[in-house]
Homo-oligomer: A and B are copies of this chain.
C-alpha cells in the first residue's frame, strides 16, 4: 500500500524507518470510481491526494459551461485544487476520476504538524510546488507560442503514459484545440 509513495518520497528526501512510519500513519486511503468527483466547486479543500492507482483530471468550467482541463494525474502524481488547498479559499475546480482510483490523502493541518516535526517534508513539498509553478509557466509559453502539433508532440513526449490512457477529446481540450484538429494532427504524424 505505502511502498509506492515511500519510493516517490525517496526520490527527493531520505527518511529513516521511523520517519516513514510517522508519515504513513497520517495518510488516509480513499477509493473512488470512474466518473465520480474528488472535489467540486464551492467545497473546502483540506486534503491533497497521491494517486496509487487510476487516472483523474482536474478542470475548470466557465460561465458558458465549457470545460477547460487543467491537469491529468496518474500513478505517482498528486492532485487536488491546489490553490484552494493552499489558500483556504473555496474550490473552483472539479477533480474527476476517469478510471477507478485508489488514492492516499493527507490533511492540511496534519501536514503543518509534520513540517514542524520533520522539516524534510517541507523541503519535499516545496520542491513539488516549485516544479508545478515552473511547469505552469512553461505551459503558458507553449500555449502562446507553439502550434497545436508542437504542443501535442511535447505532450506525448512528456506524458506518454497519460497519452495512452486519456481519450483524444480530453487531450485536445487540455491542448486547447478541437478533437477534429487533434485527429488531423495524429493522421499527419503516424
Q: Which residues of A contact B (CB under 8 A)?
A: 60, 66, 68, 70, 82-83, 86-87, 126-127, 130, 133-134, 136-137, 139-141, 143-145, 175-176
Check B68–A127 contact: CB distance below 8 A.
Answer: no
Check B82–A144 contact: CB distance below 8 A.
Answer: no
Besides A83-B133, A144-B175, 20 other A-B contacts (C-beta < 8 A):
A60-B141, A68-B144, A68-B145, A82-B133, A83-B130, A83-B134, A83-B137, A86-B126, A86-B130, A86-B133, A87-B130, A133-B136, A136-B136, A136-B140, A140-B140, A143-B143, A143-B144, A143-B176, A144-B176, A145-B176
Taking each of A66, A126, A143, A175, which has the highest tally of chain B beta carbons within 10 Å of its own beta carbon?
Answer: A143
Smallest CB separation, A147 vs chain B (Å)? 12
Closest chain B residue, CB of each to CB of A70: B137
A-B pairs, 6 with minimum CB distance: A144-B176, A143-B143, A87-B130, A143-B144, A68-B141, A136-B136
User: Which single member of B68, B137, B176 contacts A136 (CB below 8 Å)?
Assistant: B137
Smallest CB separation, A151 vs chain B (Å)? 9
Docked CA distance A87–B126 (Å): 8
Docked CA distance A143–B141 (Å): 9
Docked CA distance A141–B60 (Å): 9
Chain B contacts of A175 at CB under 8 A?
144
Smallest CB separation, A26 vs chain B (Å)? 22
